[in-house]
């Protein structure tokens, strides 16, 4: 199989979310490839009520079922984040790398899975295997994953191999997340009469000041779960980032409105309820500022997963690449939580490295990493 060609074709299908472009086209391209590898396939149209009202969400479900063997489900997503460069969907191969939006996150991993399955041919696999290629991972997909479960039964006791992950080690834990939008309200007046108004931007700055004090405290918290040294850290750490402050309309108008968005990430030893309480206490401690919570989105923390199968995968990584390990990742996602709901066990291995600039400019993937991941998957399945 010419995996470079497959990946170039995948990258050139612009699957940006939002809004969620060309999902059907991407699945139409992938479906016959899986069929050619002995899979029974089905395109599942997700009803809008299971996709937060969004239309046109098509997921691909592929099966090579073998009753009695351990249940293994590969997970991937076809959507990508928006790109700033105009040529991000014109893939380019140079210096042992493949460039383009989605190369590492995570169309390169889909190419690796196909390459592995192709090299196995008709050999019997060690597992009762399914593959799901999903949509809206870069937006929010928890309800879509819940809906998909009915096409994957039994999900209880299953292993979920997440291909949307880092290269070189097994990802066994992730950060919880708490995303909070805070709306600061004021009273708009002429700038010369500001004593009669209430400046929402200045008041928002006072809240931000308090949040930055909390940030120092939060980011001193260290987990017992190690992270890969390439992150520049040794252990998972809590995070608090003020990532949006938006307010004001004109230099001579006292503004009556300002939005603050806070991205709080939680180590496995923390929990969402306490983190929210802590945040609200800090906001409430700032006197004479009128604010309200506009939107709160939470993903729970999950303790590190352990299993002999995860250890076996870590050993295979070492056999193929010479290095390995089991680490937490400094990211969050819906998947681990949903799989925990299913009573399954999720772990991750993909082709992402810190230098691949996923979600940034010039995203690329190493060809060698795709080839190594394919070899690891091949040995894992054989
Ligand atoms: Zn991803």
Distance 104 CA to ligand 1 centre (A): 8
CA 211 to ligand 1 center in whole angstroms:
29
Q: pLDDT at position 90, please?
A: 98
Residue 337 pLDDT more than 90? no
What pLDDT shows up at residue 372? 98
Task: Kindly give the distance from the C-alpha atom of residue 162 to the centroid of ligand 1, in angstroms, as a whole number.
Answer: 10
**338 CA → ligand 1 middle, Å:** 16
User: Mean per-residue pLDDT for 263-283?
Assistant: 97
Q: What is the pLDDT of residue 31?
A: 98
Structure token pair of residue 182: 């805070």
Task: Assess whether pLDDT exceeds 90 at residue 125.
Answer: yes
- Give me the pLDDT at residue 291, please: 98
Asked if residue 20 has pLDDT above 90, the reply is: yes
* Sign of the four-CA dihedral 339, 341, 345, 348: positive
Q: Which residues neighbour 158 within 8 Å (Cβ) at sequence distance 6 or greater? A: 71, 72, 73, 152, 339, 342, 344, 345
* Distance between CA atoms of residues 66 and 108, nearest Å: 27
Mean pLDDT across 221-242: 96
CB 303 within 8 A of CB 224: no
How much distance in Å is there from the Cα of 137 to the middle of ligand 1? 7
Mean of the pLDDT values across residues 286-298? 95
Place of tokens 């940030």: 215
pLDDT of 333 strictly over 90: no
Kindly report the average pLDDT of the chain as a whole number. Answer: 96
What is the Å distance from ligand 1's center to 177 Cα? 16
Task: Specify the pLDDT at position 332.
Answer: 87
Burial 212-226 (b: 16+ CB within 10 A, else e): eebbeebeeeebebb
How many A from CA of 253 to the centre of ligand 1?
A: 42
Q: How far is the CA of 293 from the centre of ligand 1 (A)?
A: 28
| Residue of 257, 288, 260 lying closest to 187 (CA atoms) | 257
- Within 13 Å, how many C-alpha atoms sit on residue 277's CB side? 5
Tokens of 40: 């029974």
Cβ atoms of residues 35 and 29 within 8 Å: no
| C-alpha angle 195-197-198 in degrees, rounded to nearest 5 | 110
pLDDT tops 90 at residue 228: yes
- pLDDT mean over 50-57: 94
Å from CA of 90 to ligand 1 middle: 19
Tally the residues of the chain.
382
The band of 267, judged by pLDDT with boundaries at 50, 70 and 90, is: very high
Query: Is 336's pLDDT higher than 90?
Result: no
- Number of Cβ within 10 Å of residue 320's Cβ equals 18
List the structure tokens of 156.
Answer: 């209880």
Residue 77 CA to ligand 1 center (angstroms) comes to 7
* Confidence grade of residue 147 (pLDDT, cut at 50, 70, 90): very high
Structural tokens at position 342: 């299913």
Outline where DSSP puts E strands in the chain. 40-45, 58-64, 71-77, 92-94, 97-99, 128-134, 159-162, 170-173, 176-185, 189-190, 222-226, 235-237, 239-247, 253-254, 257-266, 290-299, 326-328, 345-348, 364-366
pLDDT value at residue 80? 98
pLDDT at 76 over 90: yes
Question: In the predicted model, what is the mean pLDDT of residues 277-289?
Answer: 97
C-alpha 49/C-alpha 346 separation (Å) is 26
Q: Are 167 and 223 in contact (CB under 8 A)?
A: no
Q: Ligand 1 centroid vs 359 CA: distance in angstroms?
A: 9
258 alpha carbon to ligand 1 midpoint, in Å?
Answer: 31
Q: Ligand 1 mean position to 145 CA, how many Å?
A: 15
What residue has token string 């997963």? Answer: 305
Average pLDDT on 95-124 reads 97
Beta bridge pairs of residue 242:
262
| Spacing, Cα 365 to ligand 1 middle (Å) | 13
| Three-class secondary structure assignment of 285-315 | CCCCCEEEEEEEEEECCECCCCCHHHHHHHH
> DSSP letter at 47?
P
Share of the chain above pLDDT 70, in %: 100
Which pLDDT score is estimated for 302?
84
Average pLDDT of the residues in 222-251: 96
């Amino acid at each position: 199989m010419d995996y470079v060609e497959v990946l170039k074709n995948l990258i050139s299908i612009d699957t940006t979310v939002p809004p969620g472009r060309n999902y059907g086209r991407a699945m139409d391209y992938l479906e016959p490839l899986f069929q050619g590898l002995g899979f029974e396939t089905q395109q599942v149209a997700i009803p809008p009520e299971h996709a937060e009202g969004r239309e046109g969400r098509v997921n691909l479900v592929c099966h090579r079922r073998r009753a009695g063997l351990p249940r293994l489900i590969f997970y991937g997503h076809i959507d990508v984040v928006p790109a700033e460069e105009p040529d991000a969907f014109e893939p380019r191969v140079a210096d042992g790398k493949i460039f383009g939006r989605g190369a590492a996150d995570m169309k390169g991993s889909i190419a690796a899975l196909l390459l592995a399955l192709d090299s196995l041919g008709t050999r019997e696999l060690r597992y009762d295997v399914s593959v799901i290629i999903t949509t809206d991972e870069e937006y929010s997909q928890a309800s879509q994953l819940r809906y998909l479960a009915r096409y994957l039964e039994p999900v209880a006791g299953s292993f979920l191999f997440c291909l949307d992950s880092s290269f070189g080690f097994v990802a066994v834990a992730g950060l919880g997340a708490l995303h909070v939008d805070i709306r600061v309200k004021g009273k708009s007046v002429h700038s010369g009469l500001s004593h009669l108004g209430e400046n929402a931007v200045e008041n928002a700055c006072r809240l931000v000041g308090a949040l930055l004090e909390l940030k120092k405290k939060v980011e001193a918290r260290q987990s017992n779960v190690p992270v890969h040294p390439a992150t520049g850290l040794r252990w998972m750490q809590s995070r608090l980032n003020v990532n949006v402050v938006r307010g004001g309309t004109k230099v001579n108008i006292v503004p009556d409105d300002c939005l603050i968005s806070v991205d709080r990430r939680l180590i496995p030893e923390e929990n969402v309820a306490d983190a929210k309480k802590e945040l609200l206490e800090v906001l409430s401690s700032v006197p004479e500022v009128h604010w309200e919570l506009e939107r709160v989105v939470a993903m729970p923390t999950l303790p590190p997963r352990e299993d002999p199968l995860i250890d076996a995968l870590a050993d295979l990584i070492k056999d193929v690449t010479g290095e390995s390990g089991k680490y937490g990742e400094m990211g969050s996602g819906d998947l681990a939580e949903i799989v925990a709901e299913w009573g399954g066990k999720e772990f991750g291995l993909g082709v992402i490295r810190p230098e691949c600039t996923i979600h940034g400019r010039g995203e690329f993937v190493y060809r060698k990493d795709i080839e190594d991941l394919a070899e690891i998957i091949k040995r894992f399945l054989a």
